[in-house]
């Protein structure tokens, strides 16, 4: 149940990002659900490999290169899906930052909500 609620909230967060920033376009809630799923897959499977491969650059930039990796994951998900579009790398960077803030809020809220019910 927790996973389904979190998935729906992340899809809503993606719609919020599209509403707040014009560089990110999400067609409808179904597209947002699919995009949230694909973003989760990319962040689980591809991101750790990219972080490992770019570790020297990440250390040199004191971790700021992780923002670039997040933007690349956001941009890659948008390029794979039909109902989710990002206009360019800058839009992917801003969109991924807004989406990350939403994810932090959702994670904190779901931890409080589901820790009380268990």
pLDDT digits (tens, 9 = 90+) for 37-70: 999 999 999 999 999 999 999 999 999 999 999 9
114 band by pLDDT with thresholds 50, 70 and 90 = confident
What's the pTM value of the predicted model, to 2 decimals?
Answer: 0.89
| Domain around 64 | 2-117
- Predicted pLDDT at 101: 96
Contact 29, 15 (CB under 8 A): yes
Total of domains in the chain? 1
Give the C-alpha separation, 39 to 75, whole Å.
10
């Amino acid at each position: 149940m927790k996973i389904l609620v979190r998935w729906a909230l992340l899809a809503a967060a993606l719609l919020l990002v599209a509403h707040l920033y014009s560089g990110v376009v999400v067609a409808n809630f179904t597209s947002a659900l699919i995009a949230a799923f694909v973003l989760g897959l990319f962040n689980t499977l591809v991101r750790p490999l990219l972080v490992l491969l770019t570790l020297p650059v990440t250390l040199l930039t004191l971790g700021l290169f992780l923002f670039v990796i997040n933007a690349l994951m956001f941009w890659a998900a948008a390029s794979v899906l039909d109902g989710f579009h990002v206009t360019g790398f800058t839009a992917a960077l801003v969109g991924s930052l807004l989406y990350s803030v939403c994810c932090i809020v959702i994670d904190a809220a779901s931890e409080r909500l589901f820790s009380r019910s268990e």
